[in-house]
Structure 1
């Protein structure tokens, strides 16, 4: 079965579109051999991310099982997750690395 998007790690809260996707479409999303279906609330361009579930403002965005950013506002399930609602936490010289 053809898939519309992939999840790269079981803890991810976003998926990556492998083709252009349309609002209202029920996207077929693959994690390994498992499939799930997410109704899209917005158009999602090829290579872009969308939320798998509602993500709260301030919540970490997980891709590859790693934190790649933080939600700057609520991102509803099936919504485009990009610069308009994610603040990057990587490659930012203005943020100091937290000491453990």
Structure 2
């Protein structure tokens, strides 16, 4: 089984795409590193390698969790399987 995205901890709200050419509607397999589990997600958008995908629906103001840590806040709604990047997530630092 090929792994197309990585998740650090089971409670994370995002995974990181590790393959090129991900297109909307594609079903991806992810590896949850902490507990050695796999999950599948059908992506809503094309997602470049190194970018994040949502593992649940995220509303404006929600906190994005990666590595079990707060990495930012949602500034535009993101559907389960959607693309997360600077257009819809911002740091809380400023």
1:13 paired to 2:16 = no
Report how many aligned residue pairs link the two structures: 91
TM-score w.r.t. the length of structure 2 is 0.91
Q: What TM-score, normalized to structure 1?
A: 0.86
Structure 1 residues without counterparts, runs of 5 or longer: 96-100
Aligned to 2:30: 29
Deviations 1:28-51 (A, max 9, x none): 011032111100000110010010
Which runs of 4 or more aligned residues in structure 1 lie more than 6 Å from their structure 2 counterparts after TM superposition?
Answer: none
* Matched residue, 1:3: 3
What is the CA–CA distance in structure 2 between the aligned matches of 1:70 and 1:52, rounded to whole Å?
A: 15
Within-5 A mapping of 1:6-85 = 6-20=6-20, 21-32=22-33, 33-85=36-88
The residue number in structure 2 matching 1:98 is none
In structure 2, distance between residues paired with 1:8 and 1:44: 18
RMSD (Å), alpha carbons: 1.0
Structure (1 or 2) with the larger CA radius of gyration: 1
Gaps of 5+ in 2: none
